[in-house]
């Protein structure tokens, strides 16, 4: 109990803050949508407060989810899927790189201005520093990957394929929906932040392993919710 309470000084209860952040990150809602939704339940806060909470507590939540999930993640054949998509920020083209493992967990996301070897290399190094080396890396046919892989020295582990990689591309769908609701991102900083936090929350609630049957889904969702409510409580 000696750790500093991240909710100290907050005038709103932590339950409400957690709910607001979850609504904003998990669903395609704007800040003002969340404000409205909370108002309907008799909670009066400004959309600016929601933004503040998200900026402040979002990374904390994400970090804690990540910490809890790390254990038991590695399987016998550790396979990564790499993919990149472009995102417009104030009319400028940027690229969002993502690494997804074979179970659909989003491992890492990263924003760059260019889509070249340098960017691919930076992203790869960052991901491997955090998660270790995968046995196989699946990419699309973008040549920057091959060049980067050669430099790192695991070109032999690369597999390319037009259809091999939809694992990663599937995870773009919820992201695109989100982008639409936000009417595009304004700043690189917030895109990077949103990508990282969204990945963690997405992993927590949409884990593929337990989506097989309805009852499993319900059980999993209840567990995920319980875990969410426990974030940063200690």
Partner DNA sequence: CCCAGGTTGACGTTTGCATC
Partner DNA sequence: GATGCAAACGTCAACCTGGG
- Which residues lie near DNA (CB under 7 A)? 9-12, 17, 30-33, 44-49, 51-53, 56, 88, 90-91, 181-187, 190
Q: Are 114 and 142 in contact (CB under 8 A)?
A: no
Minimum Å gap between C-beta 108 and DNA is: 21
Measure the CA–CA gap between 199 and 108, rounded to whole angstroms.
8
Minimum Å gap between C-beta 23 and DNA is: 11
Of 85, 94, 86, nearest to 168 by C-alpha is 85
Left (φ > 0), alpha (ψ -120 to 50) or beta: where does 95 sit? beta
Tell me the sheet residues that pair with 94: 87
Q: Which residues contact 73 (CB under 8 A, 6 or more apart)?
A: 101, 105
- 36 versus 159: smaller Cβ distance to DNA: 36
Q: Are 224 and 202 in contact (CB under 8 A)?
A: no
Minimum Å gap between C-beta 92 and DNA is: 8
The upper half-sphere exposure of residue 75, i.e. CA atoms within 13 Å in the direction of its Cβ, equals 11
- 80 versus 95: smaller Cβ distance to DNA: 95
- 49 versus 127: smaller Cβ distance to DNA: 49
Q: What is the CA radius of gyration of the chain?
A: 19
- 38 versus 148: smaller Cβ distance to DNA: 38
Minimum Å gap between C-beta 172 and DNA is: 16
Minimum Å gap between C-beta 191 and DNA is: 8
Token duo for residue 163: 């259809």
- 43 versus 152: smaller Cβ distance to DNA: 43
- 160 versus 190: smaller Cβ distance to DNA: 190
Minimum Å gap between C-beta 49 and DNA is: 3
Token duo for residue 174: 């919820």
Token duo for residue 104: 């659909």
Torsion, Cα 106 111 115 120, to 10 degrees, reads -60
């Amino acid at each position: 109990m000696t750790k500093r309470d991240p909710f100290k000084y907050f005038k709103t209860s932590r339950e409400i803050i957690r709910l607001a952040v979850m609504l904003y990150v998990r669903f395609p809602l704007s800040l003002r949508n969340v404000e409205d939704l909370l108002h309907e339940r008799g909670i009066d806060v400004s959309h600016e407060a929601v933004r503040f909470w998200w900026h402040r507590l979002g990374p904390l939540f994400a970090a804690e989810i990540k910490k809890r999930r790390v254990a038991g993640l590695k399987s016998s054949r550790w396979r990564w899927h790499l993919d990149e998509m472009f995102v417009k920020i104030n009319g400028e083209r940027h690229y969002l790189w993502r690494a997804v493992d074979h179970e659909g967990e989003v491992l890492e996301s990263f924003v760059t201005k260019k889509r070249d070897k340098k960017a691919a290399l930076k992203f790869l190094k960052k991901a491997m520093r955090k998660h270790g080396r995968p046995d196989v890396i699946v990419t699309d046919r973008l040549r920057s990957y091959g060049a980067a892989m050669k430099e790192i020295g695991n070109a032999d582990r690369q597999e390319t394929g037009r259809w091999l990689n939809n694992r990663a591309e599937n995870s773009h769908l919820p992201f695109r929906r989100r982008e639409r609701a936000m009417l595009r991102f304004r700043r690189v900083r917030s895109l990077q932040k949103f990508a990282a936090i969204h990945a963690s929350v997405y992993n927590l609630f949409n884990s593929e392993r337990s989506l097989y049957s309805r009852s499993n889904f319900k059980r999993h969702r209840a567990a995920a919710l319980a875990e969410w409510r426990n974030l940063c409580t200690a």
